[in-house]
C-alpha cells in the first residue's frame, strides 16, 4: 500500500482491471439464479448529472451485492438518444444531431465508468441507432396488423408564421419558442397506439407488483376506471334523436340534476346553435383551448367559466326542462363530452351553480346525522359546499328512502328498461398519439400511394424493407424549425416507390414519440445485436421481468404506463411470458444544491459529479450520496458530509496500512479469540448480519454507519496474541468485503493489502461470496430463563443476556404455556433472578 490514500491513481487502475477481466458480464453463471437490476434509460445530455449519479450508485450497490450473493447479474446501460433537445440545439446552432449525440454519449459514458459503476457494456444500446429503432418500426407494423395502431384526428399546436407544428415544450406561455407568434390550434391526422384496449389489464397488473404505493395510486388514477350509467337528456324542441348523452357514476342523484354542462365544441351544441349565440360559443371554445394550452394538458383550469346556450334539455326522471350550458372544464374527447350537473352533490357543479345562480336541489341526505332537506340545505349553501357522500334519497319519486348504493342500481335499471340509458365503464386513460413532426426520431414505416390508397389510410412498409433509415440531411436547409415536417423536405427520401403497384409513393414524414424508444429497451438489452427479432424468447424467459427498477418519480405516469403497455403487447406477440416489466420499482429522491433548492443551472447551485470525483474520488462521492439520505428521500448537498466520507476513507486506509501486513492470512486461529478479541469477533459478525439486512432493505445509509462502527472497533483494537491477530484479520477481511458494493475501488485496495492477489480469479473481490454471519457466535448473547408458577416449572423463554428485569418479566408472562397457568388469576408476587429464573406467585 502507498502511504497516502490517493484515489486519483488507484480508481482508474481498478476500473481498467474490471473491464479487462470482464467481471460484469451477464450470463456468465448459467446455473445460478438471475438478478436483473436496471436504472432508467438516460438521455445523454453530455455530462452525467447528480440525479443520474444517485441512481447508478443505488443500482450498483444492488448489482455488486447480488454478484457476491451468487446471482447471475444483468446490470446494463444504454442511451435514450433521440429527442427534441438535440433537434432544438441543431436548429439553433446548426450542429447535426448525429454528430452531437455520439460525443455526448462518449462523455456521459466516461463519467459512468469513472464512478466505478459495474455495467455490462457488451449490452450497450443506442436508440438512435437503426439497429435499435428498426424494431420500433417492426413493433409498429405488428400492432397495426392487430388494430393496436390506428389513424385519428388530433389537435396540435401550430405556429402560423413558422408554418409548423410545435411540440408542447416548444410553446412558451402560448407563444412560439422560435418566433414568438401566438400559437394556434390545428387538427391534423396522426397515428395512435390503442393503449385503452389494455385499460383493465393495466389496472389488474398493479396488484401483483411491488411498486411504491404513491406510484400505484397515480397509475390507477391516470387509468381512472369508473363504473356508471350513460343516460340521455333529450333536447327540447329539437329532433327526436337529439339528446345529450351523459355519463354519471352517481345515478342516485339524478333527481337533483338542474342543468346539463357540455364541452364548448360538443357536436350537438355546434349543430343546434345558430347566429349570434353560435358565434359566442365558438369564440368561447377558442378561448378555452388557448387557455388549456397555457396551463398544459391534464391540468385543471383555475377559474370555472361557462355560457348558457339557450338550449333546454329534459331531465328524464323529473321531466323538467333544464338549461344547457357549455363550460370550460368539460372536455369533448373525454367520456361523452357532457355531464348532468348536480350542484347539491358535486362540489364542482356546486361552485359553478353558485357563480351563475343556477338552482341547487338536494336529493340525498346523510343517514343518522342531521337531516339535509331543502331548508336545512341552506346552511350548506352558506358554507359553500355540496354534500358529496353517499346517503339516503329523498324527493326522488319512487326511489325516495333508498340508500345511494341501491338507488344507483335501481335508477340505472329503470333507465335501461325505458331504453334511455345503459351501464357504462369510463376511463380517464386516452390512446397514445405517437406522431411527431420532427426529424430526430424513428421514421414511421408507412407509405402513401394515390393509386392504391386514394384516401391515404397508409400502406405498411414491407418487413423486408426495414429499417426505414433516417436520411442524412443538410441541417441548415432541413432543420429550420419552419414549414412542413423536416423529413417532408428531403425529396430524395420522402419520394419512393409503392410496394404494391410500383408507382410513385410518399413516405410518412413524421417520426415516433421518443417514449416508444424507452418502452421496451429493457428487453433489447437481452439481445442487443440480434437482427432476426427484437430479442430472443429464451433470453426473455431467462431474464424477465426486471427484478429491481430504479428511477425518478417524475416518470410515474407516462413512461411507466407506456412500458407496462408495451410489455403486454410483447406478451401477445409471444416474445415473452411476462406481462409486467418490473417486479419491484424504487424511486430515488432528488439531490438538492448547497442552498437546499433543487439543482438548476439558473439558480447556479449545480454540483457536478465530475468536480467531486476529481477532488475526492469516486468512492467518496458514492459514499456521500448513499449515506446522506434514505434512497427514496430527497437529499441536500453538504460539503461537510463529503469531507466526512473522505476522512472515513482516510481512516480505513491508515488502519490497513498499520495492520494489514501484521494480520494477513492469520484468520485461521479465530476460534482461539478470547476477551476483547472475542468481542471484536462478535462485532464483526453482528456487522455482517446487520449490513446484509440493511442492503436487502435498501437502507444504504445505515449500512454505511454499521461499516464505520466496525472500522472504529477494529482501529481501537490491539492484538495481544494469535487469537487477537486472527480476530483483527477477520474484521479487516469482512470490512473489505462489505465495503465493496459501496466503495469498490477502496475495497479492492484493502482486499489486495490482505494478501488476495487480483491476478487470481478465485481471489477476485467482485466474485468472492458475501460473508456469512456466524449466528451461534452472536446467539451466545441470549440466555434461556426458566419460568415457574408457584415454584413449578411451566415454561422457558429466551431473552438477551443484558435484558432488564421488566423485559424478562414481560417475556415470561407472554409465554403461551405460562399463560395457561396465570391467565384469569391474580399474580401476587413475581420473583426474577436475572439470567436464570422467573417465578410467578398466584393466588
C-alpha cell at 708: 464505520
Q: Residues 143-172: x/- map of binding to Zn ion (CB under 5 A)?
A: ----------------x--x----------
SS3 of 772, please?
coil
Hey, which residues between 390 and 429 contact Zn ion (CB under 5 A)? none
Q: Cell numbers 391534423 label which residue?
A: 188
Binding residues among 794-813 for Zn ion as defined by CB under 5 A: none
**218 phi/psi in degrees, rounded to 5:** -65, -40
By CB under 5 A, name the one of 218, 291, 452, 536 that touches Zn ion.
452
Q: How far is the CB of 448 from Zn ion (least distance, A)?
A: 9
Task: Tell which one of 192, 449, 655, 688 touches Zn ion (CB under 5 A).
Answer: 449
Binding region for Zn ion (CB under 5 A) out of 49-57, 181-189, 365-373, 623-631 = 181-189
Nearer to Zn ion, 446 or 523 (CB): 446
By C-beta, is 151 or 686 nearer to Zn ion? 151
User: Smallest distance, Å, CB 166 to Zn ion?
Assistant: 7
Binder to Zn ion among 355, 451, 529, 825 (CB under 5 A)? 451
Size of the site for Zn ion (CB under 5 A): 12
Pick from 176, 402, 652, 752 the residue near Zn ion by CB under 5 A: 176
* Distance of closest approach, residue 178 Cβ to Zn ion, in angstroms: 5
Q: Residue written as cell 357536436?
A: 267
* Exposure on the CB side of residue 800, measured as CA atoms within 13 A: 7
Least separation, in Å, of the C-beta of 171 and Zn ion?
Answer: 10
Tell me which residue of 367, 317, 376, 325 sits closest to 348, measured CA to CA.
325
Of 86 and 162, CB closest to Zn ion: 162
Of the pair 279, 457, the CB lying nearest Zn ion is at 457
CB of 279 to Zn ion, least distance (A): 28
- Phi first, then psi: what are they for 146, rounded to 5°? -95, 10
Residue 452 or 708: which CB sits closer to Zn ion?
Answer: 452
Q: Which C-beta is closer to Zn ion: that of 453 or that of 530?
A: 453
Residue from 99, 179, 469, 658 binding Zn ion (CB under 5 A): 179
Q: How far is the CB of 190 from Zn ion (least distance, A)?
A: 20
Q: Find the radius of gyration of the CA atoms of the chain.
A: 34
- What DSSP state is assigned to residue 235? B
Q: How far is the C-alpha of 83 from the C-alpha of 205, rounded, in Å?
A: 30
Q: Is 263 in the site for Zn ion (CB under 5 A)?
A: no
Rule CB under 5 A: say whether 178 interacts with Zn ion.
yes
Choose the binding region for Zn ion from 451-459, 468-476, 574-582, 733-741 (rule: CB under 5 A): 451-459
- For residue 460, the minimal CB distance to Zn ion (Å) is 12
User: Near Zn ion by CB under 5 A, which window of 177-185, 680-688, 765-773, 807-815?
Assistant: 177-185
First to last CA, the chain: 71
Question: CB of residue 601 vs Zn ion: minimum separation in angstroms?
Answer: 25
In the complex, least distance from residue 627 CB atom to Zn ion, rounded to whole angstroms: 49
Q: Residue 352, Cα to own-chain centre: how many angstroms? A: 36
CA–CA gap between residue 428 and residue 202 (Å, rounded) = 13
What secondary structure, in 3-state letters, does 453-471 show?
Answer: CCCCCCEECCHHHCCCCCC
Nearer to Zn ion, 495 or 615 (CB): 495
DSSP string, 811-831: HHHT-HHHHHHHTTS-EEEEE
Q: Minimum Å distance from CB 165 to Zn ion?
A: 11
Chain centroid to CA 44? 19
Minimal distance, residue 509 CB to Zn ion, in Å: 18
The DSSP output letter for 532 is: S
Q: What secondary structure letter does DSSP report for 769?
A: P
CB 572 within 8 A of CB 146: yes
Rounded Cα distance between 40 and 559, Å, is 10
- Helix or strand (DSSP H, E) at 504: strand 504-507
Q: Which is nearer to Zn ion, 107 or 181 (CB)?
A: 181
Q: How many CB atoms lie within 10 A of CB 36?
A: 26
Residue with cell 387538427: 187
CA geometry: angle 743, 749, 750, nearest 5 deg: 85
Q: Name which of residues 489 to 508 contact Zn ion (CB under 5 A).
A: 498, 500-501
731: nearest Cα among 749, 713, 757? 713
**For 342, what's the count of Cα atoms within 13 Å in the CB-facing half-sphere?**
22
The Cα 598–Cα 608 span in angstroms is: 14
Q: How far is the CB of 230 from Zn ion (least distance, A)?
A: 42
Closer CB to Zn ion, residue 96 or residue 178?
Answer: 178
Cβ proximity of 393 and 402 under 8 Å: yes
Residue 92 lies near Zn ion (rule: CB under 5 A): no
CB of 497 to Zn ion, least distance (A): 9
d(CA 292, CA 295): 5
Q: Which is nearer to Zn ion, 181 or 406 (CB)?
A: 181
Would you say 313 and 235 are in contact if contact means Cβ atoms under 8 Å apart? yes
Which one of the spans 48-56, 292-300, 397-405, 442-450 is the region binding Zn ion (CB under 5 A)?
442-450
Which residue, 90 or 707, is less far from Zn ion as judged by CB? 90
Whichever of 182 and 658 has its CB closer to Zn ion, that residue is 182
Taking CB under 5 A as the binding criterion, the range among 7-15, 280-288, 445-453, 541-549 that sits at the site for Zn ion is: 445-453
Contact residues: Zn ion, CB under 5 A: 159, 162, 176, 178-179, 181, 449, 451-452, 498, 500-501
Amino acid at each position: 500500500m502507498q502511504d497516502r490514500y490517493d484515489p486519483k491513481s488507484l480508481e482508474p487502475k481498478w476500473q481498467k482491471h474490471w473491464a479487462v477481466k470482464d467481471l460484469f458480464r451477464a450470463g456468465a453463471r448459467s446455473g445460478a439464479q438471475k438478478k436483473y437490476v436496471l436504472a432508467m434509460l438516460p438521455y445523454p445530455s453530455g455530462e452525467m448529472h447528480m440525479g443520474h449519479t444517485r441512481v447508478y450508485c443505488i443500482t450498483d450497490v444492488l448489482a455488486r451485492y447480488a454478484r457476491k450473493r451468487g446471482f447471475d447479474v444483468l446490470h446494463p446501460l444504454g442511451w435514450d438518444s433521440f429527442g427534441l433537445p438535440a433537434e432544438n440545439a441543431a436548429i439553433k446552432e446548426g450542429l447535426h444531431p448525429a454528430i452531437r449525440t455520439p460525443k455526448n454519449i462518449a462523455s456521459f459514458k466516461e463519467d459512468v465508468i469513472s464512478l466505478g459503476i459495474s455495467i455490462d457494456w457488451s449490452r450497450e444500446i443506442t436508440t438512435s441507432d437503426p439497429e435499435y429503432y428498426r424494431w420500433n418500426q417492426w413493433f409498429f407494423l405488428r400492432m397495426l396488423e392487430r388494430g393496436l395502431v390506428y389513424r385519428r384526428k388530433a389537435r396540435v399546436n401550430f405556429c402560423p408564421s413558422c408554418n409548423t407544428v410545435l411540440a408542447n415544450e416548444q410553446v412558451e406561455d402560448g407563444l412560439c419558442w422560435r418566433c414568438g407568434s401566438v400559437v394556434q390550434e390545428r387538427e391534423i391526422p396522426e397515428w395512435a397506439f390503442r393503449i385503452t384496449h389494455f385499460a383493465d389489464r393495466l389496472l389488474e397488473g398493479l396488484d401483483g407488483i411491488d411498486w411504491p404505493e404513491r406510484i400505484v395510486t397515480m397509475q390507477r388514477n391516470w387509468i381512472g376506471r369508473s363504473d356508471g350509467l350513460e343516460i340521455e337528456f333529450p333536447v327540447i324542441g329539437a329532433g327526436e334523436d337529439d339528446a345529450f348523452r351523459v355519463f354519471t357514476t352517481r345515478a342516485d342523484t339524478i333527481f337533483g340534476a338542474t342543468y346539463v354542462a357540455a364541452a364548448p365544441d360538443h357536436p350537438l351544441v355546434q349543430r343546434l346553435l345558430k347566429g349570434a349565440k353560435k358565434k359566442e360559443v365558438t369564440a368561447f371554445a377558442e378561448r378555452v383551448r388557448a387557455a388549456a394550452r397555457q396551463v398544459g394538458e391534464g391540468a385543471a383550469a383555475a377559474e370555472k367559466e361557462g355560457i348558457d346556450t339557450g338550449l333546454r334539455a329534459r331531465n328524464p326522471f323529473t321531466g323538467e326542462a333544464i338549461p344547457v350550458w357549455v363550460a370550460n372544464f368539460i372536455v369533448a374527447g373525454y367520456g361523452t363530452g357532457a355531464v348532468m350537473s348536480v350542484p347539491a352533490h358535486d362540489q364542482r357543479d356546486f361552485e359553478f351553480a353558485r357563480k351563475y345562480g343556477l338552482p341547487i336541489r338536494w336529493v340525498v341526505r346523510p343517514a343518522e346525522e342531521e337531516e339535509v332537506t331543502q331548508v336545512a340545505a341552506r346552511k350548506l349553501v352558506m358554507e359553500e359546499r355540496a354534500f358529496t357522500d353517499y346517503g339516503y334519497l329523498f324527493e326522488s319519486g319512487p326511489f325516495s328512502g333508498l340508500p345511494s348504493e341501491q338507488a344507483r342500481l335501481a335508477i340505472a335499471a329503470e333507465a335501461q328498461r325505458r331504453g334511455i340509458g345503459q351501464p357504462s365503464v369510463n376511463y380517464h386513460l386516452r390512446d397514445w398519439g405517437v406522431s411527431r413532426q420532427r426529424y430526430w426520431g424513428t421514421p414511421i414505416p408507412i407509405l402513401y400511394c394515390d393509386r392504391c390508397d386514394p384516401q391515404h389510410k397508409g400502406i405498411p412498409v414491407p418487413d423486408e424493407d426495414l429499417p426505414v433509415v433516417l436520411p442524412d440531411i443538410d441541417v441548415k436547409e432541413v432543420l429550420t424549425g419552419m414549414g412542413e415536417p423536416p423529413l417532408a423536405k428531403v425529396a430524395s427520401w420522402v419520394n419512393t416507390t409503392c410496394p404494391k403497384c410500383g408507382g410513385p409513393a410518399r413516405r410518412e414524414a413524421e417520426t415516433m414519440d421518443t417514449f416508444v424508444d424507452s418502452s421496451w429497451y429493457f428487453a433489447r438489452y437481452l439481445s442487443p445485436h440480434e437482427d432476426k427479432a427484437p430479442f430472443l424468447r429464451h433470453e426473455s424467459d431467462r431474464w424477465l421481468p426486471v427484478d429491481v427498477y430504479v428511477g425518478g418519480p417524475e416518470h410515474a405516469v407516462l413512461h411507466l404506463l407506456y412500458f407496462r403497455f408495451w410489455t403486454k403487447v410483447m406478451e401477445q406477440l409471444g416474445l415473452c411470458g411476462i406481462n409486467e416489466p418490473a417486479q419491484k420499482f424504487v424511486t430515488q429522491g432528488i439531490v438538492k444544491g448547497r442552498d437546499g433548492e433543487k439543482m438548476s443551472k439558473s439558480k447556479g447551485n449545480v454540483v457536478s459529479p465530475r468536480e467531486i470525483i476529481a477532488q475526492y474520488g469516486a468512492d467518496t462521492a458514492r459514499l456521500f450520496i448513499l449515506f446522506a439520505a434514505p434512497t427514496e428521500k430527497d437529499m441536500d448537498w453538504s460539503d461537510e458530509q463529503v469531507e466526512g466520507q473522505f476522512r472515513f476513507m482516510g481512516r480505513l486506509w491508515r488502519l490497513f496500512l498499520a495492520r494489514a501486513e501484521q494480520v494477513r492470512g492469520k484468520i485461521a486461529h479465530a476460534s482461539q479469540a478470547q476477551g476483547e478479541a472475542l468481542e471484536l469477533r462478535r462485532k464483526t459478525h453482528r456487522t455482517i448480519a446487520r449490513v446484509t439486512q440493511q442492503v436487502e432493505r435498501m437502507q444504504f445509509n445505515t449500512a454505511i454507519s454499521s461499516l464505520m462502527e466496525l472500522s472504529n472497533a477494529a482501529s481501537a483494537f490491539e492484538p495481544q496474541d494469535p487469537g487477537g491477530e486472527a480476530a483483527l484479520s477477520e474484521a479487516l477481511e469482512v470490512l473489505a468485503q462489505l465495503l465493496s458494493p459501496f466503495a469498490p475501488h477502496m475495497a479492492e485496495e484493502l482486499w489486495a493489502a490482505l494478501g488476495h492477489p487480483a491476478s487470481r480469479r478465485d481471489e477476485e473481490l467482485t466474485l468472492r461470496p458475501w460473508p456469512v454471519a456466524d449466528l451461534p457466535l452472536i446467539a451466545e448473547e441470549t440466555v434461556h430463563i426458566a419460568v415457574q408458577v408457584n415454584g413449578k416449572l411451566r415454561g422457558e423463554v429466551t431473552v438477551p443476556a443484558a435484558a432488564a428485569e421488566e423485559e424478562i418479566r414481560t417475556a415470561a408472562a407472554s409465554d403461551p404455556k405460562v399463560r395457561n397457568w396465570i391467565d384469569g388469576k391474580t399474580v401476587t408476587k413475581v420473583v426474577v433472578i436475572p439470567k436464570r429464573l422467573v417465578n410467578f406467585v398466584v393466588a
